[in-house]
Structure formats: structure tokens, C-alpha cells
Structure 1
């Protein structure tokens, strides 16, 4: 099926939005364009594998990529942990980490 994809919808449908936001608020999509860039990366991997297959066998392949599937792949660790811990929602091992002092790394002289 060929349908147009949109970054925010792919993050919501792929589960990435459920990993961001605030505990007492709605899920938020990341501004990092996870769906766009990650889909392109996975498509390139598929294309390279198809080219290698053609070199070895002489036969071509059709390569397709779903933006939702690419985003879902990014959530595999969280999904595994929820299944392993039999717990939905906030996982203690992902609790917020207090930011450390960065010192010279954020100094005006840089």
C-alpha cells in the first residue's frame, strides 16, 4: 500500500511518542525527525542488501520501507523491557536523570 507519511503520525503509530513527554501529560513527538531520517537509513540498508543480492544471483528485488516500522524499530528496547518486566507505563530504569555540570564544554570561550 502506498500512502503518504507524516513524521508526527509515524512517531505516534510507531510508539516513539509514548517514550517522551511528561509523566502527568500527553505523549510528545520528538523534534529530532526520527521517522524521516530513520526510515531513510533503513531503506538504504535494504537497497544495499538488494544490490548485494543482485551481484550474487543476478536477480533484482523490490525494496519498500514503512515509516511506522522504522520508528517501531527505535522502540524495540522499551517494548522488550515492558514485556520482560510485565509493566506498562513509566519504568523505573528510565527515570529522569539530573543534568550534571558541564563546565568548560558550555563556556562562552568555546
Structure 2
């Protein structure tokens, strides 16, 4: 679902938004990607041997304002947008990350290699 052709990856990311009422995870190329819906959400991450420590919150569907806890560089009513600031290259500091945002965000974490 991730990696390979960019157009396929973008189509899969679009699917997250199209089926936002479902809990879908995209896995591939060392990444685990989910949608964090607008409002307040808490994400329970897997142990570090499986997921993390690198992570990010990306506003793919337009500008977003978000606040977070559980990250090395938490957001505090931070305005993000593609082409501007995004929460890329962040680091998990807790097993539970809580996010409050005014629009849906893409949540990405580093995934352990699957063998």
C-alpha cells in the first residue's frame, strides 16, 4: 500500500479519507499510516520493537490546527499545511499520543521490518 509508484501511494492515502468511517491502516516500505479524524483522538502505539520511534502528522486535505501530547515536539494549536509547516520527523515519547485537530490528519509511524 506504500512505496513503489507515487500515484498508487497517493491513491491509497486518498482511500483513507474516502473511507474515514473505517479504521484502515496502510503498511509498507517501513511505514504504518492511519487517519486521525478531526476532533480529539488518542492513538495507542505498539511497542518500539514494532512501531516507532519516528512519526508524523500530515494535513493532506487542507490546512489544519492541531494540539498534541506524547511527542517529542508537541503541537500547541499549531497551524499546519502542505507547503508550510507539517509535523514530520517527530519522535514518539509515550505509548499513547493524543491529538486534537480541526480537520483529519494522516498519522504516520516508522514500522519494524516485516519478515
Q: Which category of TM-score, normalised to the shorter sequence, fits these structures?
A: under 0.3
**Larger helix proportion of the pair:** 1
Could you state the TM-score of these two structures normalised by the residue count of structure 1?
0.22
Comparing both structures, which one devotes a greater share of its residues to strand? 2
TM-score normalised by structure 2 residue count:
0.22
Computing the radius of gyration from Cα coordinates, the structure with the larger value is 1
Structure with larger RCO (C-alpha < 8 A, sep 6+): 2
